[in-house]
Amino acid sequence: MDTVRWRSASPRSDPEMIDVRRLRHDPAEARAALARRLDDGALAQFDRVLELDDRRRTVLTEVERMRADRNEASREFARRKQAGEDLTALQAELGKAAARLKDLEEDLREFEALQESHLLAIPNFLATDVPEGGVEANVELRRWGTPPRFDFTPKPHWELGEQLGLFDLPRGTKVAGSGFPLFTGMGARLVRGLANFMLDLHTREHGYTEVVPPLLVNEASARGTGQLPKFADDLYRLERDELYLLPTAEVPVTNIHAGEILDAEMLPVAMVAFTPCFRREAGSHGKDTRGLIRVHQFDKVELVRLCRPEESEAEHAAITAHAEAVLQRLEIPYRALALAAGDTGFASARTIDLEVWAAGVDGWLEASSASTFTDFQARRAGIRFRAAAGVKPEFVHTLNASGVAFPRTIIALLENGQQADGSVVLPEALAPYVGVERLVPPT
RNA sequence: GGCGCGGUGGCAGAGUGGUUGAAUGCACCGGUCUUGAAAACCGGCGGCCCUUCACGGGGCUCGUGAGUUCGAAUCUCACCCGCGCCGCCA
């Protein structure tokens, strides 16, 4: 199917962060772009980076000059040894030079490490069309569907779920802890049906290749997609093994081609994965935590695309449409929001959220986030392609979208589909996957 | 988990301390030849960084990192990965 180009155990020995040369080339532009995110910490990082870069390059130039001298001296040494000359004096002299070089190389390593740590904390450049401002400035792009009307008071999903025997949250809490839901009976069947429904849609109609990725990822992968180092608190970590539970399939799937140079014909790469996701949700306790709204473990079908830079605009529209198609087939009313600068994620250049209407909780819930990361993740993960034989490799652009996250989809299905008698009517497209057209209380 | 062997350019495969970024073959790109193609022949051909308007110059890179040495693909140590056998296990 495709050609795997790397064989080594560590394909990412030399990761790039944000393009330093871009920062260096037009600092004012870069600083202004960064300021749009309304993140003072990032700005502080930025100022440090430029200063460090300057000092780093000064030392680098010196180190390289000394190494050039050493290489030349070494060749001279070999020649004179061949000629049988006495080299003890020269050897001593070169030894001193080697020691000086070693000190300087240590300085260089320090600068490099320091600069890298700052660079890793600088977020992606935003697309120019991202609205200015914070979360209040998000722009509603479009709405699809009509929220249902009821002649009774619609119940929240946690009541429906319990009455219909779909999930048992207290027992999930007993087994693992709060936020680890237990689906039971037809609820479990609903989860399985949703997975098959979404995977079929994306593989058959949208051209995605299905993958089942590792659920644990290493540090390099988490750094590649931008979860680390900044968002370590959001990840479940297995300290003994230096591994992390995936917060989203974006992490393992995007990293599938890390460290590779892809053939241009392989692009765009389009992959879909159904996985559980694990999030610590540190600091969000007590907020939107009823029922399934915010949980530590949830299922999600994730779409990931790798493409040529000139295609990423169109790809972003396409991947968003693929996510929307899921909600449309499920007849779930939703709205698409263009996230404002201050609300856009660290690695993203532009994000469009899809929020589903949930009648029981009477509000909009984010069920999908479709982002283009331009070359940000590709740099960190080292994903490149060669446009033509003989030309330099360039970074791909990466994109992903939830297609879609399960809990809020289930919330919408239950709350919007509920009937006066307490049953829930499933959308036509989903019913065959679940095996019933209507969820009724267990007998 | 234990023992053993091994990781060199897109691939195959030399190289065990001194102009070796690395022979050779294949693949690939350009050219000659040809009506065209193939063959043959000639030339080119990894990645990254710094510097330069450019031409060019320099450095790093032989799984990764550290070390020994005037000098490391070559010696030492740690780690990662692969293969084989044994043990354990779904």
pTM: predicted TM-score of the whole model, two decimal places: 0.91
C-alpha A439/C-alpha A96 separation (Å) is 82
What was the pLDDT predicted at A13?
A: 40
C-alpha A287/C-alpha A234 separation (Å) is 16
**Low-confidence residues of chain A: pLDDT under 70:** 1-17, 285-287
Q: What mean pLDDT value characterizes chain A?
A: 90
For residue A94, give the nucleotide whose C1' atom is nearest its CA.
B70
For residue A63, give the nucleotide whose C1' atom is nearest its CA.
B59
Answer for the pair A297, A278: CB distance below 8 angstroms, yes or no.
Answer: yes
CA of A12 to C1' of B68 (A): 28
What was the pLDDT predicted at A6?
A: 30
Tokens of A166: 């779909």
Answer for the pair A209, A266: CB distance below 8 angstroms, yes or no.
Answer: no
For residue A61, give the nucleotide whose C1' atom is nearest its CA.
B50
Cross-strand pairs, A132? none
Q: First and final CA of chain A: distance in angstroms?
A: 50
Cβ of residue A99 lies below 7 Å from strand B: no
What was the pLDDT predicted at A321?
A: 98
* Chain A 268-327 residues in 7 Å CB range of strand B: none
Cross-strand pairs, A364? A357
ipTM higher than threshold 0.90: no
What was the pLDDT predicted at A33?
A: 86
C-alpha A363/C-alpha A5 separation (Å) is 48
Cβ of residue A390 lies below 7 Å from strand B: yes
Tell me: the pLDDT tens digits for A392-437? 888 999 999 999 999 999 999 999 999 999 999 999 999 999 999 9
Cβ of residue A57 lies below 7 Å from strand B: yes
Q: Which residues contact A134 (CB under 8 A, 6 or more apart)?
A: A38, A340, A341, A342, A343
Tell me: the pLDDT tens digits for A85-129? 888 888 888 888 898 898 898 888 888 888 888 888 899 999 999
The sheet carrying A139-144 orders its strands as A139-144, A334-338, A350-358, A363-372, A397-405, A297-307, A269-278, A209-211
| Per-residue H/E/C for A164-228 | CCCECHHHHHHHCCCCCCCECCHHHHHHHHHHHHHHHHHHHHCCCEEECCCCEEEHHHHHHHCCC
Q: Which residue is nearest to nucleotide B65 (CA to C1')?
A: A13
What was the pLDDT predicted at A333?
A: 98
What was the pLDDT predicted at A16?
A: 59
What was the pLDDT predicted at A10?
A: 35
Residue located via tokens 């120019």: A128
C-alpha A329/C-alpha A201 separation (Å) is 9
Residue-wise burial string across A352-390, b where 16 or more C-beta atoms lie within 10 A, e elsewhere = bbbbbbbbbbeebbebbbbbbbbbbbbbbbbbbbeeeee
What was the pLDDT predicted at A11?
A: 38
